[in-house]
Amino acid sequence: MRSLFLFLLSALIFSCSSPKEDEYTVLMPDPFIGLNLPNTPFNYSDIDLPAHYTQNAFPPQAQFQREAISFDNTPVNNSVTNAGATLGRVLFYDEKLSANGTVSCASCHQAAFGFSDPERLSEGFEGERTRRHSMGLVNARFYFSGKFFWDERAASLEEQVLQPIQDEVEMGLNLNDLERIVSEQAYYPPLFEAAFGSETISSERIGLALAQFVRSLVSTTSKYDLARAEVANPMLDFPAFTAQENRGKTLFFSPIESSTGGAVNCAGCHVSEAFVGPIPNGPIGPSSAINNGLDAVSTDDHGVFEATRNPNDRGKFKSPSLRNIGIRPPYMHDGRFATLEEVIEHYNSGIQDHPTLAPPLRDNNGNPVRLNLSEEDKAALVAFLHTLTDYNMLEDEKFSDPFQ
């Protein structure tokens, strides 16, 4: 396919040694050679969100629930545009944007694995491993706090996308080198002009474009979405679900009583039908991070505390969206769980008594909840979580590698 944004390139005509000899026509180099981009940009800016993203159909007693669109963290100065997200897509997949030209953003956030990494810790440009597991990026637009990384140290997505590029393990560049390398590629000036109105290349614009592409990664065509369209609210049985999937959905959305009187609602920490992080302080709070009882004591990794230095944040970590959770093991910030079954068993029997453990994970006596789920119910929860996999979205060409 010929690339987008190709303006009419005039031909350079020259004569060889004599006007009487044959004339040769030489076309100006195509700056998009090697890039697989369409003549007309893909649609990133006008995503058709289903009604269950724009309306809250949960019952009134589910006070923690909101419609996903109300969590949109898109800033007023960086709305997603087709040209901007196209530029972001190229930047996202470009391995030249690393110190030795071997890794890109997509190296650690692979579409086939829900824009995460199948490795427990990701491999950087020189083979070193990252400190934490690579978080899935789908539905990042709906992280209502707007903060990013497991420890929420980045105040916005625009800030976050530039940090892995500068990380000494991940991509190894400084911003000056980033701008220089981008400027040296013939395909970037016309892409920047289409996105921002001029060919000026800056790290700020690189961050804006990358953020636009990441915010365009919205899941709306999973089995859950298609089945949800047939019912009025998410609490009803879905006709298109199996009995096991519907049982898992009921368990997920409803409080599950433990033998000691406590209750756990999965949807309390994965809210809205975008299945994003919890709401600690009303509809808009300062953080979506919680401590889910992985450890009794924080040792090597203190989570959000490392960014805030607030002791109440020790052991808290951001909760990514559960969209595509079934195809992006391993799980948790350190990738300690290899399967969804292990994750469910953690919440069933393994929650630890950390001082900052999330209150919903304690029973009426203040102890960590023990759900005592049956094997059938654990299997049903896993089956439901697999309905959140959106193969149509993950295989969509507009999110694929333009260098292939």
Q: Classify residue 233 by its DSSP letter.
A: S
Q: How many helices (H) and strands (E) does the chain have?
A: 14, 4
pLDDT of residue 64: 83
Q: Give me the residue spans of the domains in the chain.
A: 223-392
pLDDT of residue 321: 95
pLDDT of residue 352: 98
The highest-level CATH class for domain 223-392 is mainly alpha
pLDDT averaged over the chain?
A: 90
- Name the nearest CA neighbour of 125 among 60, 179, 169, 71: 169
Answer yes or no: are the C-beta atoms of 132 and 320 closer than 8 Å: no
pTM, rounded to two decimals: 0.91
Identify the segments of the chain with pLDDT beneath 70.
1-29, 256-264, 280-286
Only one residue has tokens 């953690």, namely 346
Answer yes or no: are the C-beta atoms of 143 and 276 closer than 8 Å: yes
- Three-state SS at 12: strand
pLDDT of residue 363: 87
pLDDT of residue 233: 96
Q: What is the pLDDT of residues 246-286, one digit of tens each?
A: 999 999 998 755 444 334 579 888 999 999 988 755 444 46
pLDDT of residue 299: 95
pLDDT of residue 274: 97
pLDDT of residue 28: 56
User: Which token pair is 50?
Assistant: 């289903």
